[in-house]
Amino acid sequence: MSAVPVPFHHADPGTAESVWLASDRWDAVPALDVPAVAHRYARVLVVSAHPDDETLGVGGLVADLAQAGARLQVLVATDGERSHPTGGAGAREALAARRRQEVHRAVEALAPGVQVISLGLPDGSLDQHGYALVEHLRHHTGPGTLVLAPWVGDGHTDHDALGRACAEAAASRGADVAHYPIWLWHWGTPQALPWQDVVAVETSCDAAWRKRAALDEFASQTTAWGDPDGTGHPAAPVLGAASLARALRLVETLIDPRHVLPTLASDRLERRAADRAQQLNGMYDGGDDPWAFAGSFYEERRSALVLALLGCRRYGRALEIGCADGRLTEALVERCDEVVALDTSPRAVAAARARAPWATVEVGVAPTDLPVGPFDLVLLSEVGYFLSPLELLATLRRCEAALAPGGEVVLCHWQHPTTDVPLDGALVHEQAFAQLRCARRATYVDQDLRIEVWGDADSPARREGRA
* β-bridge partners, 146: 44, 176
- Residue 52 contacts residue 221 (beta carbons within 8 Å): yes
Look at residue 316 in the predicted model and tell me its pLDDT.
Answer: 97
**70 three-state secondary structure:** coil
Q: What secondary structure letter does DSSP report for 285? A: G
- Residue 201 contacts residue 261 (beta carbons within 8 Å): no
Q: What secondary structure letter does DSSP report for 228? A: T
- Nearest Cα to Cα of residue 321 among 398, 419, 421: 398
Phi-psi region of 86 (alpha: psi -120 to 50; beta: other; left: phi over 0): beta
φ, ψ dihedrals at 411, nearest 5°: -115, 130
| Omega of the bond leading into 374 within 30 degrees of 0 (cis) | yes
- Nearest Cα to Cα of residue 422 among 269, 251, 234, 206: 206
Following DSSP, what letter does each residue of 363-401 receive, concatenated?
A: E--TTTTPPP--EEEEEEES-GGGS-HHHHHHHHHHHHH
- Is residue 461 within a helix (H) or strand (E), and if so which, with residue range? helix 460-463
**142 three-state secondary structure:** coil
Alpha-carbon span 49 to 40, nearest angstrom: 26
Choosing among 3.40.50.10320, 3.10.28.10, 3.30.230.70, 2.60.40.10, the CATH entry for 17-264 is: 3.40.50.10320
Whole-model pTM above 0.85?
yes
- Nearest Cα to Cα of residue 74 among 85, 83, 63: 63
Q: How does pLDDT run along the chain (467 residues), one tens digit per residue?
A: 445 667 788 778 899 999 999 999 999 999 999 999 999 999 999 999 999 999 999 999 999 999 999 999 999 999 999 888 766 788 889 889 999 999 999 999 999 999 999 999 999 999 999 999 999 999 999 999 999 999 999 999 999 999 999 999 999 999 999 999 999 999 999 999 999 999 999 999 999 999 999 999 999 999 876 655 555 566 778 898 899 999 999 999 999 999 999 999 876 667 777 777 777 777 777 777 788 888 899 999 999 999 999 999 999 999 999 999 999 999 999 999 999 999 999 999 999 999 999 999 999 999 999 999 999 999 999 999 999 999 999 999 999 999 999 999 999 999 999 999 999 999 999 999 999 999 999 999 999 999 999 999 888 899 888 98
Look at residue 226 in the predicted model and tell me its pLDDT.
Answer: 63
| Omega of the bond leading into 367 within 30 degrees of 0 (cis) | yes
Alpha-carbon span 59 to 50, nearest angstrom: 14
CA angle, corner 174, sides to 170 and 175, nearest 5? Answer: 50
What tens digit of pLDDT does each residue of 310-327 get? 999 999 999 999 999 999
- Nearest Cα to Cα of residue 415 among 443, 446, 392: 446
What tens digit of pLDDT does each residue of 403-450 get? 999 999 999 999 999 999 999 999 999 999 999 999 999 999 999 999
Alpha-carbon span 167 to 133, nearest angstrom: 11
Residues shown for the chain: 467
Look at residue 287 in the predicted model and tell me its pLDDT.
Answer: 77
Residues 236, 237, 238, 240, CA torsion sign: negative
Return the CATH architecture of domain 297-463. 3-Layer(aba) Sandwich (3.40)
